[in-house]
Amino acid sequence: MNIPEMLKSLQDPMGVPFYPQVFRILLVVTFALHIIFVNFVIGGSFMSVYAYFRHGAFYKNLSKAFAKATTINLSLAIVLGVAPLLFTQVIYDPFWYTSNVLSASWMVGIVFVLMTAFAFAYLFYLKSSTGKRHIALWGIFSFILIVLAAVIMHAVSYQALQPGKWLAWYMNNNSVDLYGAHLHAFQLPRFLHFIVASFALTGAFMMLYAWYFWEREDMDREYLAWAGKMGARMAVDFTVLQMVVGVWWMLSLPATFHFYTNYMFLTGVPFAVVLLLVLIRAQSDPRKYALPVAALMAVTVFAMSSLREVLRMLYTGKYDYSVSNYTLNISYGSTALFLASFVMGIVIVGYMISVVFKMGRSAKPIDLSSLKLRTWSVYLMIAWILMMIGIGVVIAS
Protein backbone atom coordinates (compact mmCIF):
# COMPACT_ATOMS: atom_id res chain seq x y z
CA MET A 1 0.00 0.00 0.00
CA ASN A 2 1.39 3.43 -0.93
CA ILE A 3 1.21 6.41 1.40
CA PRO A 4 -1.84 8.16 -0.16
CA GLU A 5 -3.81 4.92 0.06
CA MET A 6 -2.66 4.42 3.65
CA LEU A 7 -3.80 7.92 4.64
CA LYS A 8 -7.13 7.37 2.94
CA SER A 9 -7.66 4.12 4.81
CA LEU A 10 -6.88 5.81 8.14
CA GLN A 11 -9.60 8.44 7.68
CA ASP A 12 -12.83 8.16 9.61
CA PRO A 13 -15.17 6.13 7.33
CA MET A 14 -18.10 8.22 8.62
CA GLY A 15 -16.55 11.31 7.05
CA VAL A 16 -16.95 14.81 8.44
CA PRO A 17 -20.30 16.22 9.69
CA PHE A 18 -19.94 19.55 7.87
CA TYR A 19 -17.92 21.23 5.12
CA PRO A 20 -14.18 20.71 5.83
CA GLN A 21 -13.26 24.26 4.86
CA VAL A 22 -15.38 25.55 7.74
CA PHE A 23 -13.38 23.38 10.14
CA ARG A 24 -10.17 24.67 8.59
CA ILE A 25 -11.17 28.31 9.16
CA LEU A 26 -12.17 27.53 12.74
CA LEU A 27 -8.87 25.70 13.23
CA VAL A 28 -6.88 28.76 12.15
CA VAL A 29 -8.90 31.18 14.31
CA THR A 30 -8.90 29.06 17.46
CA PHE A 31 -5.22 28.15 17.13
CA ALA A 32 -4.39 31.87 16.92
CA LEU A 33 -6.27 32.50 20.19
CA HIS A 34 -4.60 29.49 21.80
CA ILE A 35 -1.05 30.39 20.78
CA ILE A 36 -1.42 33.98 22.02
CA PHE A 37 -1.93 32.72 25.56
CA VAL A 38 0.75 30.08 25.14
CA ASN A 39 3.12 32.91 24.26
CA PHE A 40 1.98 34.87 27.31
CA VAL A 41 2.67 31.82 29.49
CA ILE A 42 6.18 31.20 28.16
CA GLY A 43 7.26 34.84 28.16
CA GLY A 44 5.42 35.69 31.37
CA SER A 45 6.76 32.76 33.39
CA PHE A 46 10.30 33.66 32.34
CA MET A 47 9.80 37.33 33.22
CA SER A 48 8.35 36.47 36.63
CA VAL A 49 11.57 34.64 37.55
CA TYR A 50 13.88 37.13 35.85
CA ALA A 51 12.31 40.08 37.68
CA TYR A 52 12.39 38.13 40.96
CA PHE A 53 16.19 38.03 40.87
CA ARG A 54 16.55 41.72 40.00
CA HIS A 55 16.85 44.39 42.67
CA GLY A 56 14.39 47.23 43.15
CA ALA A 57 10.74 47.72 44.04
CA PHE A 58 9.67 47.96 40.39
CA TYR A 59 11.11 44.53 39.56
CA LYS A 60 9.50 43.09 42.69
CA ASN A 61 6.08 44.39 41.62
CA LEU A 62 6.61 43.14 38.08
CA SER A 63 7.55 39.66 39.30
CA LYS A 64 4.37 39.47 41.40
CA ALA A 65 2.23 40.66 38.50
CA PHE A 66 3.66 38.08 36.08
CA ALA A 67 3.54 35.29 38.66
CA LYS A 68 -0.19 35.89 39.08
CA ALA A 69 -0.81 36.38 35.35
CA THR A 70 1.00 33.14 34.48
CA THR A 71 -1.46 31.01 36.47
CA ILE A 72 -4.38 32.67 34.66
CA ASN A 73 -2.79 32.59 31.22
CA LEU A 74 -1.83 28.93 31.58
CA SER A 75 -5.45 28.06 32.38
CA LEU A 76 -6.67 30.00 29.35
CA ALA A 77 -4.01 28.48 27.08
CA ILE A 78 -5.10 24.96 28.05
CA VAL A 79 -8.83 25.68 27.67
CA LEU A 80 -8.39 27.47 24.34
CA GLY A 81 -6.18 24.63 23.11
CA VAL A 82 -9.10 22.20 23.14
CA ALA A 83 -10.84 23.73 20.10
CA PRO A 84 -7.94 23.66 17.58
CA LEU A 85 -7.06 20.16 18.81
CA LEU A 86 -10.58 18.94 18.08
CA PHE A 87 -10.64 20.54 14.62
CA THR A 88 -7.24 18.98 13.85
CA GLN A 89 -8.57 15.58 14.88
CA VAL A 90 -11.57 15.98 12.59
CA ILE A 91 -9.85 16.88 9.30
CA TYR A 92 -6.27 15.65 9.84
CA ASP A 93 -7.04 12.52 11.84
CA PRO A 94 -4.68 10.14 9.92
CA PHE A 95 -1.73 12.42 10.67
CA TRP A 96 -2.58 13.46 14.22
CA TYR A 97 -3.59 10.09 15.66
CA THR A 98 -0.67 8.24 14.07
CA SER A 99 1.81 10.77 15.44
CA ASN A 100 0.19 10.46 18.88
CA VAL A 101 0.62 6.68 18.81
CA LEU A 102 4.26 7.00 17.74
CA SER A 103 4.93 9.17 20.81
CA ALA A 104 2.16 7.85 23.05
CA SER A 105 4.14 7.98 26.30
CA TRP A 106 4.98 11.62 25.73
CA MET A 107 1.41 12.56 24.83
CA VAL A 108 0.07 10.90 27.98
CA GLY A 109 2.89 12.43 29.99
CA ILE A 110 2.20 15.97 28.77
CA VAL A 111 -0.94 16.01 30.92
CA PHE A 112 1.14 15.46 34.04
CA VAL A 113 3.81 17.87 32.82
CA LEU A 114 1.24 20.66 32.54
CA MET A 115 -0.39 19.77 35.86
CA THR A 116 2.97 19.95 37.60
CA ALA A 117 3.93 23.16 35.78
CA PHE A 118 0.69 24.77 36.92
CA ALA A 119 1.23 23.62 40.52
CA PHE A 120 4.78 25.03 40.56
CA ALA A 121 3.60 28.31 38.97
CA TYR A 122 0.90 28.66 41.63
CA LEU A 123 3.35 27.88 44.45
CA PHE A 124 5.70 30.53 43.10
CA TYR A 125 2.84 33.04 42.97
CA LEU A 126 1.81 32.26 46.57
CA LYS A 127 5.34 32.26 48.02
CA SER A 128 7.05 34.98 45.98
CA SER A 129 6.04 37.70 48.46
CA THR A 130 8.49 36.24 50.98
CA GLY A 131 11.42 37.41 48.88
CA LYS A 132 13.49 34.30 49.64
CA ARG A 133 15.73 33.38 46.74
CA HIS A 134 15.06 29.63 46.88
CA ILE A 135 11.37 30.32 46.21
CA ALA A 136 12.39 31.13 42.64
CA LEU A 137 13.01 27.40 42.13
CA TRP A 138 9.24 26.89 41.84
CA GLY A 139 9.09 29.45 39.03
CA ILE A 140 12.16 27.99 37.32
CA PHE A 141 10.77 24.45 37.46
CA SER A 142 7.45 25.70 36.10
CA PHE A 143 9.15 27.48 33.18
CA ILE A 144 11.24 24.39 32.33
CA LEU A 145 8.15 22.15 32.33
CA ILE A 146 6.20 24.62 30.18
CA VAL A 147 9.01 24.62 27.62
CA LEU A 148 9.09 20.81 27.79
CA ALA A 149 5.37 20.75 26.97
CA ALA A 150 6.07 23.06 24.03
CA VAL A 151 8.82 20.70 22.82
CA ILE A 152 6.45 17.71 23.00
CA MET A 153 3.68 19.46 21.07
CA HIS A 154 6.13 20.75 18.49
CA ALA A 155 7.65 17.31 17.92
CA VAL A 156 4.31 15.51 17.68
CA SER A 157 2.92 18.15 15.31
CA TYR A 158 6.03 18.08 13.12
CA GLN A 159 6.36 14.30 12.89
CA ALA A 160 2.68 14.16 11.89
CA LEU A 161 3.69 15.88 8.65
CA GLN A 162 6.16 13.14 7.68
CA PRO A 163 4.18 9.95 6.98
CA GLY A 164 7.02 8.67 4.80
CA LYS A 165 9.07 8.10 7.97
CA TRP A 166 6.34 6.61 10.18
CA LEU A 167 7.17 2.97 9.45
CA ALA A 168 10.87 3.47 10.18
CA TRP A 169 10.02 5.21 13.46
CA TYR A 170 7.55 2.50 14.42
CA MET A 171 10.06 -0.26 13.62
CA ASN A 172 12.75 1.29 15.82
CA ASN A 173 16.03 -0.67 15.40
CA ASN A 174 14.15 -3.57 13.75
CA SER A 175 11.86 -3.95 16.76
CA VAL A 176 8.31 -2.72 17.12
CA ASP A 177 8.02 0.31 19.41
CA LEU A 178 5.01 -0.53 21.56
CA TYR A 179 5.56 2.19 24.13
CA GLY A 180 5.80 5.38 22.09
CA ALA A 181 8.78 6.38 24.18
CA HIS A 182 10.48 8.55 21.55
CA LEU A 183 10.05 11.98 20.01
CA HIS A 184 11.13 11.41 16.44
CA ALA A 185 11.23 14.86 14.83
CA PHE A 186 12.39 18.31 15.86
CA GLN A 187 13.01 21.39 13.70
CA LEU A 188 14.87 24.07 15.65
CA PRO A 189 13.98 27.16 13.54
CA ARG A 190 10.30 26.20 13.53
CA PHE A 191 10.34 25.75 17.29
CA LEU A 192 12.25 28.98 17.93
CA HIS A 193 9.88 30.94 15.71
CA PHE A 194 7.12 30.27 18.24
CA ILE A 195 9.31 30.66 21.32
CA VAL A 196 10.82 34.01 20.31
CA ALA A 197 7.32 35.28 19.54
CA SER A 198 6.49 34.66 23.20
CA PHE A 199 8.79 37.45 24.31
CA ALA A 200 7.58 39.84 21.64
CA LEU A 201 3.96 39.29 22.72
CA THR A 202 4.93 39.51 26.38
CA GLY A 203 6.40 42.92 25.63
CA ALA A 204 3.06 43.98 24.15
CA PHE A 205 1.37 42.49 27.23
CA MET A 206 3.45 44.81 29.43
CA MET A 207 2.43 47.80 27.33
CA LEU A 208 -1.22 46.82 27.81
CA TYR A 209 -0.54 46.34 31.51
CA ALA A 210 0.65 49.95 31.79
CA TRP A 211 -2.31 51.25 29.75
CA TYR A 212 -4.92 49.21 31.62
CA PHE A 213 -3.91 50.11 35.20
CA TRP A 214 -3.10 53.76 34.47
CA GLU A 215 -6.57 54.86 35.64
CA ARG A 216 -6.38 53.12 39.01
CA GLU A 217 -5.84 55.41 41.97
CA ASP A 218 -3.79 52.86 43.92
CA MET A 219 -1.24 52.16 41.16
CA ASP A 220 2.15 53.86 40.95
CA ARG A 221 2.20 55.62 37.58
CA GLU A 222 5.98 55.86 37.59
CA TYR A 223 6.13 52.08 37.91
CA LEU A 224 3.56 51.63 35.13
CA ALA A 225 5.50 53.95 32.82
CA TRP A 226 8.67 51.95 33.56
CA ALA A 227 6.92 48.64 32.85
CA GLY A 228 5.47 50.01 29.61
CA LYS A 229 8.87 51.17 28.37
CA MET A 230 10.47 47.82 29.21
CA GLY A 231 7.66 46.06 27.36
CA ALA A 232 8.05 48.30 24.31
CA ARG A 233 11.78 47.54 24.16
CA MET A 234 11.12 43.81 24.47
CA ALA A 235 8.45 43.93 21.78
CA VAL A 236 10.64 45.63 19.19
CA ASP A 237 13.82 43.65 19.97
CA PHE A 238 12.18 40.25 19.87
CA THR A 239 10.07 41.12 16.85
CA VAL A 240 13.28 41.79 14.93
CA LEU A 241 14.77 38.55 16.26
CA GLN A 242 11.63 36.67 15.30
CA MET A 243 11.90 37.99 11.74
CA VAL A 244 15.46 36.68 11.57
CA VAL A 245 14.39 33.28 12.90
CA GLY A 246 11.46 33.33 10.47
CA VAL A 247 13.83 33.73 7.53
CA TRP A 248 15.92 30.86 8.90
CA TRP A 249 12.81 28.70 9.16
CA MET A 250 11.74 29.61 5.63
CA LEU A 251 15.16 28.65 4.25
CA SER A 252 14.92 25.28 6.02
CA LEU A 253 11.65 24.38 4.26
CA PRO A 254 11.71 22.03 1.25
CA ALA A 255 12.70 24.00 -1.85
CA THR A 256 9.80 22.42 -3.76
CA PHE A 257 7.35 24.40 -1.65
CA HIS A 258 8.53 27.77 -3.08
CA PHE A 259 7.11 29.22 0.11
CA TYR A 260 8.65 32.66 -0.39
CA THR A 261 6.41 33.12 -3.45
CA ASN A 262 3.23 31.95 -1.70
CA TYR A 263 0.51 34.60 -1.76
CA MET A 264 -0.18 34.17 1.96
CA PHE A 265 3.46 34.80 2.80
CA LEU A 266 3.65 37.83 0.49
CA THR A 267 0.46 39.20 2.06
CA GLY A 268 1.89 38.81 5.56
CA VAL A 269 5.16 40.64 4.88
CA PRO A 270 3.61 44.16 4.79
CA PHE A 271 1.87 43.48 8.13
CA ALA A 272 5.20 42.54 9.68
CA VAL A 273 6.84 45.72 8.36
CA VAL A 274 3.98 47.91 9.62
CA LEU A 275 4.15 46.22 13.04
CA LEU A 276 7.88 46.87 13.30
CA LEU A 277 7.48 50.53 12.33
CA VAL A 278 4.70 51.03 14.89
CA LEU A 279 6.79 49.32 17.59
CA ILE A 280 9.70 51.65 16.84
CA ARG A 281 7.35 54.62 17.09
CA ALA A 282 5.88 53.25 20.32
CA GLN A 283 9.20 53.59 22.16
CA SER A 284 8.42 57.25 22.80
CA ASP A 285 5.04 56.61 24.47
CA PRO A 286 4.29 52.88 25.05
CA ARG A 287 0.99 53.52 26.81
CA LYS A 288 -0.36 55.59 23.92
CA TYR A 289 0.50 52.88 21.38
CA ALA A 290 -0.54 49.91 23.53
CA LEU A 291 -3.87 49.28 21.78
CA PRO A 292 -2.55 49.72 18.19
CA VAL A 293 0.38 47.41 18.98
CA ALA A 294 -1.97 44.83 20.51
CA ALA A 295 -4.23 44.95 17.44
CA LEU A 296 -1.29 44.58 15.05
CA MET A 297 0.15 41.75 17.15
CA ALA A 298 -3.21 39.96 17.00
CA VAL A 299 -3.35 40.36 13.22
CA THR A 300 0.24 39.10 12.95
CA VAL A 301 -0.52 36.03 15.06
CA PHE A 302 -3.59 35.30 12.92
CA ALA A 303 -1.41 35.64 9.81
CA MET A 304 1.13 33.22 11.31
CA SER A 305 -1.66 30.78 12.11
CA SER A 306 -2.88 31.02 8.52
CA LEU A 307 0.64 30.46 7.17
CA ARG A 308 0.98 27.45 9.46
CA GLU A 309 -2.12 25.97 7.84
CA VAL A 310 -0.76 26.75 4.36
CA LEU A 311 2.43 24.89 5.24
CA ARG A 312 0.45 21.92 6.52
CA MET A 313 -1.44 21.88 3.19
CA LEU A 314 1.90 21.81 1.34
CA TYR A 315 3.27 19.00 3.49
CA THR A 316 0.13 16.87 3.23
CA GLY A 317 -0.32 17.77 -0.43
CA LYS A 318 2.85 15.83 -1.24
CA TYR A 319 0.83 12.71 -0.48
CA ASP A 320 -2.26 13.80 -2.44
CA TYR A 321 -4.10 14.56 0.80
CA SER A 322 -6.62 17.38 0.87
CA VAL A 323 -9.32 18.03 3.44
CA SER A 324 -11.55 19.12 0.56
CA ASN A 325 -11.69 15.48 -0.57
CA TYR A 326 -12.82 14.21 2.80
CA THR A 327 -16.08 12.23 2.69
CA LEU A 328 -18.92 14.61 3.52
CA ASN A 329 -21.75 13.30 5.67
CA ILE A 330 -23.60 16.43 6.77
CA SER A 331 -25.24 16.36 10.17
CA TYR A 332 -27.39 19.46 10.44
CA GLY A 333 -28.51 18.71 13.98
CA SER A 334 -25.03 18.43 15.53
CA THR A 335 -23.82 21.39 13.47
CA ALA A 336 -26.71 23.58 14.65
CA LEU A 337 -26.06 22.49 18.25
CA PHE A 338 -22.39 23.37 17.89
CA LEU A 339 -23.11 26.80 16.41
CA ALA A 340 -25.73 27.56 19.07
CA SER A 341 -23.29 26.61 21.82
CA PHE A 342 -20.59 28.67 20.12
CA VAL A 343 -22.77 31.80 20.03
CA MET A 344 -23.87 31.25 23.62
CA GLY A 345 -20.23 30.89 24.66
CA ILE A 346 -19.26 34.15 22.97
CA VAL A 347 -22.01 36.06 24.78
CA ILE A 348 -21.24 34.56 28.19
CA VAL A 349 -17.47 34.95 27.84
CA GLY A 350 -18.02 38.48 26.55
CA TYR A 351 -19.99 39.30 29.68
CA MET A 352 -17.30 37.81 31.92
CA ILE A 353 -14.58 39.78 30.14
CA SER A 354 -16.54 43.02 30.45
CA VAL A 355 -17.03 42.42 34.19
CA VAL A 356 -13.36 41.67 34.79
CA PHE A 357 -12.32 44.64 32.66
CA LYS A 358 -14.45 47.11 34.57
CA MET A 359 -13.60 45.76 38.01
CA GLY A 360 -9.87 45.65 37.34
CA ARG A 361 -9.60 49.29 36.30
CA SER A 362 -10.95 50.64 39.57
CA ALA A 363 -9.90 50.12 43.18
CA LYS A 364 -13.42 51.10 44.30
CA PRO A 365 -16.66 49.09 44.04
CA ILE A 366 -18.40 49.69 40.71
CA ASP A 367 -21.95 49.26 39.44
CA LEU A 368 -22.24 46.41 36.93
CA SER A 369 -26.00 46.72 36.37
CA SER A 370 -25.47 48.68 33.15
CA LEU A 371 -23.85 45.71 31.40
CA LYS A 372 -26.41 44.60 28.82
CA LEU A 373 -24.90 41.16 28.31
CA ARG A 374 -25.74 40.17 31.89
CA THR A 375 -29.40 39.36 31.22
CA TRP A 376 -28.69 37.68 27.90
CA SER A 377 -26.00 35.52 29.51
CA VAL A 378 -28.46 34.20 32.11
CA TYR A 379 -31.23 33.55 29.59
CA LEU A 380 -28.91 31.82 27.13
CA MET A 381 -27.40 29.60 29.80
CA ILE A 382 -30.88 28.53 30.98
CA ALA A 383 -31.97 27.91 27.37
CA TRP A 384 -28.84 25.85 26.67
CA ILE A 385 -29.32 23.69 29.78
CA LEU A 386 -32.97 23.05 28.90
CA MET A 387 -32.00 22.23 25.32
CA MET A 388 -29.38 19.69 26.43
CA ILE A 389 -31.81 18.08 28.87
CA GLY A 390 -34.42 17.92 26.10
CA ILE A 391 -32.00 16.27 23.68
CA GLY A 392 -31.03 13.75 26.35
CA VAL A 393 -34.66 12.89 27.05
CA VAL A 394 -35.43 12.45 23.32
CA ILE A 395 -32.41 10.20 22.79
CA ALA A 396 -33.11 8.16 25.92
CA SER A 397 -36.73 7.61 24.91
Mean pLDDT of 284-307: 93
Percent of the chain at pLDDT > 90 equals: 61
More confident residue, 52 or 218: 52
Give the three-class secondary structure for 176. Answer: strand
**Model confidence at 158, in pLDDT bands (50, 70, 90)?**
very high
Mean pLDDT of the chain: 90
**Model confidence at 108, in pLDDT bands (50, 70, 90)?**
very high
- List residues bridging with 175 in a β-sheet: 172
Whether residue 284 has pLDDT greater than 70: yes
Whether residue 93 has pLDDT greater than 90: yes
Whether residue 165 has pLDDT greater than 80: yes
More confident residue, 387 or 60: 60
Mean pLDDT of 357-377: 76
Q: Give me the amino acid identity at 283.
A: Q
Positive or negative CA dihedral for 173, 177, 179, 184? positive
Contact 235, 293 (CB under 8 A): yes
The predicted structure's pLDDT at residue 388:
85
pTM: 0.91
Whether residue 397 has pLDDT greater than 80: no
pLDDT tens per residue, range 187-197: 999 999 999 99
Rounded to a whole number of angstroms, the CA Rg of the chain reads 23
Mean pLDDT of 370-384: 80
The predicted structure's pLDDT at residue 128:
85
Report the alpha-carbon distance of residue 241 to residue 33 in Å, rounded: 22
The predicted structure's pLDDT at residue 264:
75
The predicted structure's pLDDT at residue 20:
92
Q: What is the dihedral of CA 276, 281, 284, 286, to 10 degrees?
A: -60
Whether residue 346 has pLDDT greater than 90: no
Neighbouring residues of 49: CB distance < 8 A, sequence distance ≥ 6:
63, 124, 136, 139, 140, 143
pLDDT tens per residue, range 195-236: 999 999 999 999 999 999 998 888 899 999 999 999 999 999
The predicted structure's pLDDT at residue 356:
83
CA neighbor of 309 nearest in space, from 95, 28, 97, 87? 28
* Segments of 256-307 assigned E as strands: none
More confident residue, 92 or 171: 92
Q: Find the largest Cα–Cα distance for the chain.
A: 70
Contact 359, 46 (CB under 8 A): no
Given its phi and psi angles, is residue 136 left (phi above 0), alpha (psi -120 to 50 degrees) or beta?
alpha
**Model confidence at 1, in pLDDT bands (50, 70, 90)?**
low
Tell me the C-alpha to C-alpha distance, in Å, between residue 149 and each of 116, 132, 191, 208: 11, 28, 12, 27
Report the alpha-carbon distance of residue 308 to residue 140 in Å, rounded: 30
Neighbouring residues of 44: CB distance < 8 A, sequence distance ≥ 6:
66, 69, 70, 73, 202, 205
